[in-house]
Amino acid sequence: MNGCFSESFGSPARAFLGAAREALGAPALVLGASYIGFGSLVRASDMTVAMGLYSTFSGWALPGQVALVELYAVGASLAAIIVAVALTNVRLLPMTLALMPHLRAPGTKRWVYYLAAHLIAVTGWVNAMRRCPELPEEERLPFLFGFSGMLWVVCLVATVAGYYLAGSVPAQVSLGLVFLNPIYFMLVLTADLRDPARLRAMALGAMLGPLFYFVDPDWGLLLTGVVAGTLGWLPKLVRTPSRG
């Protein structure tokens, strides 16, 4: 696309294929590497490849999957695992609520939106929030399905690859690969900081994260997200529109 985004692909089918091609660049490389690390973690935790594959298939969200594997490895109860994964993935709810208004198109059946919600993860969400508002309504869902669907397939393949490569990849490297995804997410967000609320939230998160970690390592990340996000966006939410 020569460095700029087209307002339309021309048809829903072209939107799907074009989005899939876009996903096969840096997003697929970063997520694929992260899930290779996840696959290695699955094997190191004495889980089967089928268990790791089903985790990626059904609960496609790397932080929650890592929490699941680590808690399983230490023998945590089913209730504890469910609560930990739910708290880790609760961030996907506001992300979905923010994106869905941009995906609605006349005549679309409700079950299609439920299927689309399953494909809303961090990388796909960022790109859909940037692209979908400028696309015609009939191309928005195909774009999400093409982009996130391609990433989903890449992550499934990478999970299996990481599982069987576990013996040839040092443990430190495998763990490092898992952290590529949040680093990439941060870089994607910093590439577009025109919104002051986003900039405030990220700056506050960077400052408060280490402090909350020392207060409580188990809840520090969650507290950082809630406090930094609330304080970052609060001025924008309470600002009353000017009249006249």
Q: How would you write 41-101 as a 3-class SS string? A: HHHHCCCCHHHHHHHHHHCCCHHHHHHHHHHHHCCCCHHHHHHHHHHHHCCHHHHHHHHHH
Q: For the beta carbon of residue 227, count every other beta carbon within 10 angstroms.
A: 15
Quote the distance between the C-alpha of residue 5 and its chain's center.
Answer: 22
Q: Tokens in use for 4?
A: 């700029």
Q: Is residue 60 part of a domain?
A: yes
Query: Same domain for 202 and 186?
Result: no
Query: Same domain for 130 and 202?
Result: no
Query: Same domain for 35 and 95?
Result: yes
- Domain edge (last residue) among 161, 177, 192: 192
Contacts of 30 (CB under 8 A, 6+ apart): 123, 180, 181, 184
Query: Same domain for 63 and 155?
Result: yes
Find the radius of gyration of the CA atoms of the chain. Answer: 19
Q: What does the alpha-carbon distance between residue 82 and residue 176 come to, in Å, rounded to a whole number?
A: 25
Query: Same domain for 52 and 138?
Result: yes
Q: Is residue 4 part of a domain?
A: no
Q: Is residue 166 part of a domain?
A: yes
Q: What does the alpha-carbon distance between residue 33 and residue 86 come to, in Å, rounded to a whole number?
A: 24
Q: Is residue 7 part of a domain?
A: no
- Domain edge (last residue) among 192, 207, 231: 192
pLDDT in tens, the chain (244 residues): 334 455 788 899 999 999 999 999 888 988 888 898 889 889 988 899 999 999 999 988 888 898 899 889 888 899 988 988 888 888 888 889 889 999 988 888 989 999 999 899 888 888 898 889 889 999 999 999 999 999 999 999 999 999 998 777 666 666 666 666 666 666 666 655 666 777 788 788 888 888 988 888 877 877 888 888 888 877 766 664 544 4
Query: Same domain for 127 and 216?
Result: no
The total domain count for the chain is 2
In the numeric block, the tokens 């979905």 are attached to 96
Query: Same domain for 99 and 168?
Result: yes
Q: Is residue 62 part of a domain?
A: yes
Q: Is residue 93 part of a domain?
A: yes
Query: Same domain for 206 and 133?
Result: no
- Domain edge (last residue) among 192, 214, 230: 192
pLDDT of residue 122: 84
pLDDT of residue 139: 93
Residue 230, H or E segment: helix 220-238
Phi and psi at 94, nearest 5°, equal -65, -30
Query: Same domain for 107 and 150?
Result: yes
Q: How many residues does the chain have?
A: 244
pLDDT of residue 188: 62
Q: Is residue 56 part of a domain?
A: yes
Query: Same domain for 89 and 203?
Result: no
Q: Are 143 and 130 in contact (CB under 8 A)?
A: no
Q: What does the alpha-carbon distance between residue 54 and residue 33 come to, in Å, rounded to a whole number?
A: 18
Look up the domain containing 37 and give its range. Answer: 12-192
DSSP, res 241: P
The pTM of this model reads 0.77
Q: What does the alpha-carbon distance between residue 162 and residue 42 come to, in Å, rounded to a whole number?
A: 9
pLDDT of residue 201: 81
| Sign of the four-CA dihedral 70, 71, 74, 75 | negative
Contacts of 240 (CB under 8 A, 6+ apart): none
Query: Same domain for 72 and 43?
Result: yes
pLDDT of residue 200: 82
DSSP, res 10: S
pLDDT of residue 182: 66
Q: Is residue 55 part of a domain?
A: yes
Query: Same domain for 98 and 36?
Result: yes
pLDDT of residue 27: 87
Quote the longest CA-to-CA distance of the chain: 68
